[in-house]
Amino acid sequence: MFTRMSDIDRMFGTMDLLRKRMGRLFSDYGRLYLSGPEFTLTSNSPRTNLLESGDTFDVQVEVPGISKDNLNIKIQGNYLEISGKRSVDTPEGYKVHRNERGRNTFSRSFTIPNGVDAEKVEAELKDGILYLTLPKSETAKPRMIDINAA
């Protein structure tokens, strides 16, 4: 069975048209998500640093324009969830001409390598950055074992 080249060209043309239409529907179509060293975040996900020192984990979360009343922090074992919402209210008597900082919510969750003592967690919001200090639980801290001589 022989196929004409015009049939093959028409098939590839149709596939190209489908790809272009899908590209218009989904702006992320065809993008490699894990091509770089970092994962791709959605636009409303705050950038986060998770650092470890000897006895604590330190978390730094960028949350500009979000008040402490609109932030929620939940810790359960070694699971940390940070969520919040940004609300932008138009003052009375003003007319909106452009609104790029709309309302949005976010939720980020992390699994921390070791357990955390949830009773001693400290949180501070300063200059649009949420600082969390998560002390390790006593069972998660390394300890020295003395060796008895026989």
Structural domains in the chain, CATH included, are 48-135 (2.60.40.790)
Q: Is the separation of the CB atoms in 125 and 63 below 8 Å?
A: yes
Q: How far apart are CA 91 and CA 103, in angstroms?
A: 15
The dihedral sign for the CA sequence 34, 36, 37, 42? negative
Strand partners, 59: 50, 132
Summarize pLDDT for 126-140 with one digit per residue, the tens: 999 999 999 888 776
Q: How far apart are CA 86 and CA 59, in angstroms?
A: 20
Tell me if the pTM is above 0.85: no
Check pLDDT > 60 for residue 35. Answer: no
Q: How far apart are CA 109 and CA 52, in angstroms?
A: 17
pLDDT of residue 2: 59
Q: What is the overall mean pLDDT for the chain?
A: 80
